[in-house]
Chains A and B, each alone.
Chain A
Amino acid sequence: MTDPAAAVGSARHPPGDLAIWVFILAELLAFGVFFTVYAITRMKNVALFDEMQLTLDRRAGAVNTILLILGSWCVARSVAAIQLDQKVKSARWLLLGIAAGGGFLVVKLFEYSAKLGAGINLATNTFYMFYLSLTFFHFMHVILGMVILLAVWLKARKGGYSAADHHGLETGASYWHMVDLVWIILFPLVYVMR
């Protein structure tokens, strides 16, 4: 397998459209502020945050982390396949990535359903205000990522990308990986660290 990164050296532009990378940086900034405010608020309410964290379904959080990692891996394999001009394979990897994202949404909906069923909402306490708003903010990004991947897949299944031209696929993939990257911090921060 060839590795363009190693072959070309350090003069490459990031994969996909430059505009998506500006958007990704803006999104990372927004999540960074959210994480910072969560950590500082927790610093002032340690007992409450530690107590409430125990009421979360940590197993569901871990399963969702694995699903997003799998989704990201599938999409990376899709890009790798199209670089070798394997169009059908690339489209199938994309579809698997979308399915992993769908799995994430289903697990998260079960979590939300359990919390709402127990009478928990944004007004319950500071911890749940952060938990619900932060995870829902991310949830919406997963949906947006899936919509982008779906559009890319629709083109990919018709053979719309090739080894020579797969800019759009890389653009969608970059956004999807950002969604995964953010959850890599969100999971330990909200579900595990105490």
Chain B
Amino acid sequence: MQKSFKSYFQKQTSAAPLAVFRIGFGLMMLISIIRFWGYGWIDKLYIQPKFYFSYYGFEWVKPLGEWTYLIFFICGLSALFVAIGLKYRLSIIVFFLSFTYIELMDKTTYLNHYYFISVLSFLMLFLPANAYFSIDNLLRKKQFTTIPKWNIDAIKLLIGIVYFYAGLAKINSDWLFKAMPLKIWLPSKYDLPFIGEKLLQQEWFHYAMSWGGMFYDLLIPFLLLYRKTRVFAFVLVVFFHVFTRVLFPIGMFPYIMIVGSLIFFDAGLHHKIIDKIKAALKFFRVKTKALPTQTFTPSNQKIITSVLIVFFVVQLLLPFRYVLYPGELFWHEQGYRFSWRVMLMEKRGHAYFKVVNPEKGTYFYVDNTDFLTGFQEKQMSTQPDFILEYAHYLGERFKAQGHGPIEIYVESYVALNGRRSQPFIDPNVDLLKQYESFRPKTWILPFKDEIKGL
């Protein structure tokens, strides 16, 4: 056992797939940053708001006013450097740090695929993605045609986890037996050509999409791994992601996944891709120097593999942390993020904050639009940690304004997956006396229904 374990880590494979992956990843990230910038979202999401929702423990990460543009510029530039393989190690470190900083600035914008990018770029810190077909090769006048096999397998494993866990999360009664939330989302896309008016309105189609989506997510990693089904699987990947791109506002994610899944193919395809790039860039004069593969194996491989083993154990366990919290996960969302639970809920809420002066017995309600953007208010009203953080922000603000001793209560309602709205947070709990922690939030009212499943 230990022997085969050891020999696995000594196995070598072509460096081409990782090089193509690096190029694709870098370019996709560059486009993402440009797109984000072009839509004016930096200003809208990170400069305009008066208040930003922080992740627990990362309260110190805040937008930097106009300097926020610089972070995005650095992030985009480092993505470009990653793509061309220039100073790769430094570039991927800068990319990981700047991208993760951006994501930590305001959890309002949390998306599973942003988290995926952070996790993936962390993994890439440890991979020799510049070993082949990179500017670094030109600078060092050498390149490596082979790298340890586990380097590529690590990326496959991460992509596999994302898909498989997304599939596991779909095994629940709302998704499979009520076709929710697709039953809400699909009919509302009535304005799509060809399918909008008819197909998307059909109940059988909602169920077909729900079940199909679950099987797709669960099976696609294996279909991609198995040589005989690989091409078919890739076609499915393209179709599935293009289709979801048409239906939902999920930005660059589908393209990233399509490009990313190329890593599952054999090196032959990647050499063809590299040849195509070379042909396109005729001026690109790469000096190929095939070096003995054994010289590549880095001396710190043991440390790296140990770090990555811990990393993957965390990745495998983290999505299951929700079992530590009582109640319905979709309702209280404790342990919901960072778990590849994608597109599972249609949740809307309304939270109405009451500022009470217990000495005078007076109170007033807060107009959320005075403090939050529409997007922030929407996210805040359905997620307890947002509600708590916002209540404390309001508390500090009104205390500073001289409103004296105050208590803050919230009257809130949430509707989940087509159910009628019901009270969400205990309206009799002074939120200023509650503090963020990993412990269960007892002031969330119980969900009056049951969703069975993982």
A, B assembled together: no
